[in-house]
Structure 1
Amino acid sequence: MRFHPAGKKIIRNTLWVALALNLIGWLFITTSFFSSLLTLGTLVMLVMVLQFFRYPHRPVTTDEKLILSPADGKICVIEECEEKDYLKTRCLKVSIFMSPLNVHINWVPVPGTVTFLKHKEGEFYAAFKDKSAEENERFCTAIRLNDGREIMATQVAGALARRILNYLKPGQAVTQDLEMGFIRFGSRVDLYLPTDTKLNVKLGQKVTGSQTIIGELS
């Protein structure tokens, strides 16, 4: 199993903590039951961290007419709304909630050119709640398509997510096989699409980043 570079430091620190706790248990805990319980607890902690930063190999089929899912997770919102950070127009919003068990890599949903990047400070409400889209810390990425239209993907922090990584740069040409970023420990990604987008997903559906077709552009 490969592990994502975003987790290199956390994996290393978790391993050291696990070793230290087990050493303390071996030296100072005389009861075998509690010693075994400590070992089991540190093992579970290490396995959870490793699975969180797993790095799957996914061949991506690019198509400029398709919107690919930017993340693994479950569709938690489908609605029309006003996008207020950059597009400032009515959009079709599709939100994907990522639990701590999902792969947390974020992929570029459409090919084009990056026109807007902005990190906004905010709160850390649970990512599945509606107010998280407006009030939580987030990172907005707008991409201009070849036909001039723009879509936006917003990485939203959650109650556990305290670090949003975004790898793109303004003016960068991007394709759907590129990683947009990474969010640590539970979060969501909001897509703001043209209102005439033909959706291929429904509320509650599980999606796979870079693989599931969210919709088709008219």
Structure 2
Amino acid sequence: MKLHRESKGTITVATLLFIIIGALAIYFLEMWSLVIILPLLVVYSLVFWFFRVPNRDILDHKENVIAPVDGKVVMIKEVEEDEFIKGKAIQVSIFMSPLNVHICRYPVSGKVVYKKYHPGKYLVAWHEKSSTENERTTVAVESLTNHQVVFRQIAGYVARRIVFYCKEGDDAKAGHEFGFIKFGSRMDVFLPLDTEIVCKIGDITKGGLDVIARMNAE
């Protein structure tokens, strides 16, 4: 199983803790040490599972908006996007549990025209205000269909580290990686009002594969 590059520090710490706690359990509890070691082994295995990198065949897209993450669609609504679009947009939010793949992918192809990191709170990721009050990043892409598309990584109650690798001027390719969020979190995508939304609340998405909307070329 291939592991994400962001796993190195976390797995190093998890391995050291597993060895230390396991050794102490064996030393002090002897035959009862399995009561500690077995649950610890499950948690240790979940750390590896969290940082997995699945093999996915990413296609080229122009008008399709692709799910940026694995997770569950929890919100589709018209909102005011005040940071970049500065007007009304359709917000599609996808919540990721700690068991989901947490690679963050471009939802559309085009050119990165804006990026910014915002420190903030750690409200639960499904809280509506987390989009504007939590630790988050904002990226905007001028799409191949000549639309401005904004997407936002949002830290949740558990997630405390967001990384994004893109720079202004980079070519964005729908379905390809631009960042990562450690543990439970959310991704918001802000689309033009005339966008055709093809997903619905409750849908389970696979990042880089599933189409969540379509935009006609202007």
TM-score, length-normalised on structure 2?
0.96
Q: 1:133 corresponds to which letter in structure 2?
A: S
SS in 2 for 1:86: coil
In the other structure, the counterpart of 1:19 is 19
Moved runs in structure 1, 4+ residues, more than 6 A?
A: none
Aligned CA distance change for structure 1 residues 164 and 202 (closer, same or farther; 3 Å): same
In the other structure, the counterpart of 1:180 is 178
In the other structure, the counterpart of 1:130 is 128
Residue among 109, 114, 117 paired with 1:116? 114
Q: Find the aligned partners of 2:60 and 2:193 in 1 and give their Cα distance.
A: 22
In the other structure, the counterpart of 1:4 is 4
**Structure 1 residue 38 corresponds to structure 2 residue 56:** no
In the other structure, the counterpart of 1:192 is 190
Deviation at 1:25, TM superposition (A): 1.5
Q: Find the aligned partners of 1:59 and 1:12 in 2 and give their Cα distance.
A: 30
Q: Find the aligned partners of 1:96 and 1:180 in 2 and give their Cα distance.
A: 16
Q: Find the aligned partners of 1:29 and 1:170 in 2 and give their Cα distance.
A: 56
Q: Find the aligned partners of 1:87 and 1:103 in 2 and give their Cα distance.
A: 29
In the other structure, the counterpart of 2:144 is 146
TM-score, length-normalised on structure 1?
0.96
**Structure 1 residue 29 corresponds to structure 2 residue 26:** no
Q: Find the aligned partners of 1:63 and 1:45 in 2 and give their Cα distance.
A: 38
Q: Deviations over 1:167-188 (max 9, x none)?
A: 1011111212421100001000
Percent identity of the aligned residues? 36
Deviation at 1:16, TM superposition (A): 1.5
SS in 1 for 2:6: helix
Q: Deviations over 1:102-140 (max 9, x none)?
A: 000011111111000001111100001111112111100
SS in 2 for 1:115: strand
Residue among 57, 78, 81 paired with 1:80? 78
Q: Find the aligned partners of 1:148 and 1:205 in 2 and give their Cα distance.
A: 27
- Where structure 1 has 5 or more consecutive residues not aligned to the other structure, the ranges are none
In the other structure, the counterpart of 2:94 is 96
CA RMSD of aligned residues (A): 1.0
Q: Find the aligned partners of 2:52 and 2:17 in 1 and give their Cα distance.
A: 20
Q: How does 1:155-170 map to 2 (within 5 A)?
A: 155-170=153-168
Q: 1:15 corresponds to which letter in structure 2?
A: T
Q: 1:213 corresponds to which letter in structure 2?
A: V
In the other structure, the counterpart of 2:53 is 55
